[in-house]
Amino acid sequence: MRLTNQSAAALKVPEGKAYVIVFDDDLAGFGVRANAGGSRVWVVQYRNALGQTKRETLGKVGLLPAADARRAASERLARVRLGGDPSAEREAERKRAAITVGLKIESYLDAHRPRVRAKGHGESTYYMQKIWTPLHRTPVDGVTRAQVSARLNEIVKTSGPHAANRARTTLSSFYAWLIAEGVAESNPVVGTRKPHREESRQRVLKPEEIKAILGALPVGDFGRIVRLLLLTAQRRDEVADMPWAELDLATGLWSLPRERTKNGLSHDVPLSRPALAILAGAPRIEGRGLVFGSGAGGFQGFTRAKAALDRASGVKDWRLHDLRRTAATGMGDLGVLPHVVEAVLNHISGTKAGVAGVYNYALYNPEKRAALDLWARHLAGLDPGIELAAANAEAPLAQL
């Protein structure tokens, strides 16, 4: 029998049977299943490469015309002849569709926690859990470039271009991990426009700006942190999250473990006398291991404190990270050699890059101490609040 709309509708189910399947005489494997209750559905049946019999429903008789059902069956049978398994492929697709963006976020964050600093992990958590919420219910392979682009435009309007850039980078990293795990086939971020072209900042504070900022600093942790950022040339979170255990005030040395540095390398920071005076004056809280702050982590509240400092100092368009660049530039202007400045900054670049950097990554602690002492003496002329010991003799520039 050649199956048609009419012949399929006319099929009778023998008494006592729940259903009957009748196959087409012209297309082997194409058939119709007639149920005792009266329903009729088009089916296709085949054997896969493993010899397993598979049957797939194509659609209801009456809703799907016989010609369309025959065409669909022909396509599936052709894929079988080429070694495919339409039923298994459909099941795999169903399982893939069940893997949504939101379902994989925790695994991604857990996998990357050991590789990034706490701040970076916190930012990734914020962007994936909050900013990319509209994608959470979408299958990982269902996210399109158009969706990503549209969401980035929304982020620009609500949070600004810099936040959109961070959100884009985080989502791209998430998809790179999914691809490596075999969960996703492609990265929908690729090809999207970067919301804002970020250029490396070159802001170096002028002496009068440094003087204005230091003169306007409030009493308390924030004031201490800003002075230490300028005196040590280290990163904001390295100072703000500083534990007492890293400090040896007797020898004047601050030792950062690799877990707390951006490049994963342990780093010694010689402390000038003004820096030691600031730390010695910081109150110790019983049972608290961190120098600054009072909550679960280090010092919080930079946004408000920085805004208040801007109003009090009158200095505009600067960031706390600019203090690090200002210190590096200032030491260079005072005659400190580039490789010593890089050692102070814990940089592996420029004069310390490559193989030479590996073998010449000396501690340079005497040179770093001389450089930071020289810089502290320079700052003393700009801020009367920086205490400087008279015994600090000038270090010969040739030794720096």
For the chain, which residues make up each domain, given as ranges?
5-85, 101-180, 207-399
| Triad 350, 354, 359: Cα angle to 5° | 105
- What's the CA gap between 236 and 229, in Å, rounded? 7
115 contact partners, CB below 8 Å, separation of at least 6:
none
Give the dihedral sign, CA 48/53/56/62.
Answer: positive
How far is residue 385's CA from residue 393's CA, in Å, rounded to a whole number?
20
For domain 207-399, the CATH architecture is: Orthogonal Bundle (1.10)
Tell me whether strands 19-23 and 30-35 are parallel, antiparallel or unpaired: antiparallel
**Residue 49 burial (CB count, 10 A):** 10
How high is the pLDDT of residue 301? 87
What is the DSSP secondary structure assignment for residue 248, as one 8-state letter? Answer: E
Alpha helices in the chain (DSSP H): 5-9, 66-81, 86-98, 101-112, 118-126, 145-159, 161-180, 207-215, 221-232, 236-240, 273-280, 302-313, 322-333, 338-345, 354-359, 365-380
269, 270, 271, 268: which is closest to 282 by C-alpha? 271
What pTM was computed for the model? Answer: 0.56
Looking at residue 357, its pLDDT comes to 43
pLDDT of residue 396: 39
**Which distant-in-sequence residues (6+ apart) come within 8 Å of 125 by Cβ?**
109
Which tens digits make up the pLDDT trace of 305-350?
999 999 999 999 999 999 999 999 999 999 999 999 999 999 865 4
Q: How far from 18 is each of 13, 36, 259, 320, CA to CA, in Å?
A: 8, 5, 68, 77
- How is residue 137 written in tokens? 């219910």
Taking the C-alpha atoms of 181, 185, 191 and 193 in order, what is their torsion angle to the nearest 10 degrees? -50
In sequence order, what are the residues at sequence separation of 6 or more whose Cβ sits closer than 8 angstroms to the Cβ of residue 352?
Answer: 339, 342, 343, 360, 361
DSSP element (H, E) containing 20: strand 19-23
Residues of the chain with pLDDT under 70: 88, 92, 95, 196-201, 348-363, 384-400
Class of domain 5-85: alpha beta
Check residue 116 and give its pLDDT: 79
Pick from 397, 381, 387: which is nearest to 272 by CA? 387
DSSP single-letter state for residue 196: S
Residue of 389, 387, 327, 382 whose CA lies nearest to 215: 382
Strand partners, 139: 100
Q: How far apart are CA 155 and CA 134, in angstroms?
A: 12
Judge contact between 48 and 19, C-beta under 8 A. Answer: no
DSSP letter for 139, please. Answer: B
Taking the CA atoms of the chain, what radius of gyration do you get in angstroms? 34
| Inter-CA distances, 175 with 33, 91, 97, 108, 170, Å | 43, 23, 16, 9, 9
